[in-house]
Amino acid sequence: MTETIVKEDQHIGKIAAEQGISPKQVKSVISLTNEGNTVPFIARYRKEMTGALDEVQIRNILERWQYLQNLDQRKEEVLRIIAEQGKLTEELQRTIVKAEKLQEVEDLYRPYKQKRRTKATVAKEKGLEPLAEWLLTFSTESVEEKAKEFLSDEKEVLTVDDAIAGARDIIAEMVSDDADGRKWIRRETFKSGSVVSAVKDAEKDEKNVYEMYYEYEEPVSKIVPHRILALNRGEKEDILRVSIKMNVDFILSYLTRKWVKKENTPATAIVQEAIEDGYKRLIQPSIEREIRNELTEKAEEQAIHIFSENLRNLLLQPPLKGKMVLGVDPAYRTGCKLAVVDETGKVLKIDVIYPHPPVSKTKEAREKLIKILRDYKVEMCAIGNGTASRETEQFVADILKEMDEEIFYIIVNEAGASVYSASDLAREEFPDLHVEERSAVSIARRLQDPLAELVKIDPKSVGVGQYQHDVSQKRLSESLHFVVETAVNQVGVNVNTASASLLQYVSGLTKTAANNVVKLREEEGKFTSRAQLKKVPRLGAKTYEQAIGFLRVLDGQEPLDRTAIHPENYDEVKKLLTNLGFTTADLGTEELKNALNGLDLKAVSVELAIGELTLKDIVDALMRPERDPRDDLPRPLLKKDVLKLEDLKPGMELQGTVRNVVDFGAFIDIGVKQDGLVHISKLSKRFVKHPMDIVSVGDVVTVWVDSVDMKKGRVALTMLQPS
């Protein structure tokens, strides 16, 4: 067995232990990925091989595998460089090979790293290294006498003090380069250090955003992620000065015990000075940087995780299918843009009304809106939550109350709608519409199918994050792309109605392939079978295999094409149906459901040579052929009347929609201008580690008004029922 295979097996065992799964599952994920399979495909169609791991587990395995591969690469590089210097001992090699983190490898490599010219390298060039080594023997001889041996006009060591100072610089760097010492100091600083901030320039903090941090201290081990990102931002804006405070005497006494082998020798005081210099000048700033980087990294991971979860819940909000919707993009001066879209999202009517100042054509606006609602048999009004939203809501609610037809309205979060409306994509989709008119269409469609509409927008613009501009943009984009991809593939895509924006998130499809699908559909008409997609340019056999299970043909020649069943299993599925006395035409019927309910999965799985997990998915798809996982979620909160901030009283019970979840609580849309905040302490009677354990974006929740600050326009809410 080669060294590489042994190493890979060790890594597989390590990942399995960390994730609490079997090495076989890890191995399967890695080999399936190496064969060119995508995460959604592996999660959905290779359950037997992975033991039904989900997308997140698969991604975690792959990220950890990549880290360990990078670690191995770095170890090899470091070992090679040290060996080339002729300084690689067996013990050092063993220690580097055993290191489990990149940071440990870097610490061990530090003494051998090509440094820019430091005080110590200058001193070494002057031939003072032997004097430094002699000082560390703690000889009882006179230091001054020994130092005289190193005086040299040529090397510019002119006095005894020059020689001692140079030797001290060399010892300071030796102390700083000691890997064990750094590891201990880093651990202790994490354990008992504090993050400290002070005001640097209060004038730059016009809104007093950072006031609580003007004089602030918190243990490194306890500081929460959102505070780290706030401090980082305050420092970046030049308002705060942030540092890590540590008990210096405690660290110096540890270093003294480690380096000073004899007390009361002529060399002792000089070595102690070198230790103090090594810590204060070299170790401490470097450890502070490392710790702050690590804190920032963890804080960023948390912020990205929150953003990702919020985005996932936003994308998976239930669609309001089969409704005629009027989208309203509110505004004052330029008027409220209206867009009527039919059940399929097709635009039927574009108009504008001016119910608000400065134009105030209220009567005309009322007549026009009533006519549109009646002419197009509108069932739902979707009102954007931007400028003039509440005034528009009041205007629409008053009209709906007067109408005989039952029409509801809903406030739609329009974050990112303007980004989409001004994009090339929107121009391509609606070349004849103005930007605001496109926004009205987007708002209406967001209600009909949030996923299909939101994929057209950069995920960073959908307004459900915290500190998203302060984190690694590359990492954030990767994470959000993964969330969108997972959501799209969980839901599945109607290949005859999907936009190229939606199709490009389908497992295996590139942007080019997605555009080619749309192009072929436009040229040759609707697809009538999945098999026709093999004709799409740039969609080869492997891509077809990866994508086809997630693409649906709803009214085609092959009924199985409208399910999540992969064509690779069609023969077995038809055999199963024949055995039960049915055909594919019976999909979703009560008779077939009853027959499938009594199925012995274990026996049938052996008979058809299909894995039991795959068979279970097939049976589910046969029972509910067009099942949309979003249909199982609570419906959006529909409204008929409007509420003002002035109407709110402490103790009032309300229904609201969760708009955003952050570390310290959740923002709830209760129908007034400002979203109310439920602080983490008011989410539940039990201890809440994170608000996400209790609520998700899109949830409809019951809340009670805690307090109202009219001046700041703030509403504090609670989910704890008042006694």
Q: Read out DSSP for 98-155?
A: H--SHHHHHHHHGGGS-PPP-HHHHHHHTT-HHHHHHHTTT-SS-HHHHHHTT-BTTT
Average pLDDT over residues 75-84: 96
Average pLDDT over residues 285-303: 95
pLDDT value at position 2? Answer: 65
Checking if the pLDDT of 654 tops 80, the result is yes
Peptide bond preceding 358 in cis form (omega within 30 of 0): yes
Tokens of 512: 């080019």
Cβ contacts of residue 155 below 8 Å, gap of 6+? Answer: 125, 126, 127
Rounded (10°) angle between helices 55-84 and 90-98: 170
pTM over 0.75: yes
Instruction: Give me the domains of the chain, ranges plus CATH numbers.
Output: 3-112 (1.10.10.650), 119-306 (1.10.3500.10), 325-448 (3.30.420.140), 518-632 (1.10.150.310), 645-718 (2.40.50.140)
Residue 377 — pLDDT band, cuts 50, 70, 90?
very high
DSSP assignment of 208-238 equals: -TTGGGTEEEEETTT--HHHHHHHHHHHHTT
Only one residue has tokens 């000075």, namely: 273
HSE, side-chain direction, 13 A CA sphere, residue 604 = 22
Checking if the pLDDT of 1 tops 50, the result is no
The distance in angstroms from the start CA to the end CA of the chain is 69
DSSP assignment of 1-69 equals: --HHHHHHHHHHHHHHHHHTS-HHHHHHHHHHHHTT--HHHHHHH-HHHHTS--HHHHHHHHHHHHHHH
Listing from the earlier edge strand, what are the strands of the sheet with 240-245? 215-219, 194-199, 240-245
Residue 6 — pLDDT band, cuts 50, 70, 90?
confident
Tokens of 358: 């400065």
Only one residue has tokens 């290294």, namely: 129
In which element (H, E) is residue 376 found?
none
Query: Cα separation of 130 and 152, whole Å?
Result: 14
pLDDT value at position 527? Answer: 97
In angstroms, the Cα distances linking 246 to 195, 225, 252, 253, 288 are 9, 20, 11, 13, 10
Average pLDDT over residues 603-608: 94
Instruction: Give residue 385's identity as a one-letter amino acid code.
Output: N
Higher pLDDT, 191 or 645: 191
Residue 207 — pLDDT band, cuts 50, 70, 90?
confident
Give the DSSP letter of residue 548: G
Average pLDDT over residues 18-37: 97
Query: Cα separation of 412 and 462, whole Å?
Result: 12
Checking if the pLDDT of 642 tops 80, the result is no
Please tell me which of 34-38, 470-474, 607-611, 634-638 the model is most confident about, judged by mean pLDDT.
34-38
